[in-house]
Amino acid sequence: MKIMIDAGHGGKDPGAVGSGLQEKNLTLKLALSIGRLLQNHGVDVRYTRTDDTFVSLSDRARAANAAKVDYFLSIHINAGGGTGLESFIYTGQSGKTEEIRSAIHQCVAAAFKEAGLPDRGRKQANLAVLRETSMPSALLEYGFIDAPKDAGLLGTDAFIERISAATVQGIANVFGLSIPAAADQVTEWARQARDWAVSSGITDGMRPKDAVTREEVWTMLYRALKR
């Protein structure tokens, strides 16, 4: 399976700006996180950009078409006074395109709901990267950069990790990828502590069910005490 992850904006185009954040940086961080998780499950991941580079909308679509990927996912952060998640497919699309978008949207919306952010719904629009790609595609707006609660979450590694994992789970559900259920899931009673430890730089938050070595204990204690 081959997927292209499109980190919106980049280079001379910062995208939306707010709360001390730039959309181009958040989209790249999120795209690379989603891509890494997909690669861990054997997916051939391609990117429209992997650094702070400007790529035109048509060049993004051309790259996906040339690579003959199975799916194109464009990552964006919203602005304009709202809050929460919304997703887009090209105007008039249905069938497989809608099926995949809905599977991803459902999982990501659940992660947003857990964080207290609303689901703004599944929408259609005449967006260039969706119009010009020849495979099923979707564009997700992962929260609002100018909304304090959204931005506060988007500025943390813990939330980026959570919505990345939710995105991958949606892709896995619709494409039949095998993801070990216990490997990446955190028990609810431990979630707040895990999120704090990740945002504090004490741990990467991965492998929550694995046994811990003495070296890892020493390192986490050292980081906590130095914090």
Which residues are marked as active site?
141
Spatial CB neighbours of 170, under 8 Å, sequence gap ≥ 6? 103, 104, 105, 106, 107, 108
Of 59, 48, 61, 64, nearest to 8 by C-alpha is 48
Length of the chain as a residue count: 227
Burial class (CB in 10 A: 0-12, 13-18, 19+), 116: exposed
Burial class of residue 6 in the structure, from the number of CB atoms within 10 Å of its CB (0-12 exposed, 13-18 middle, 19+ buried): buried
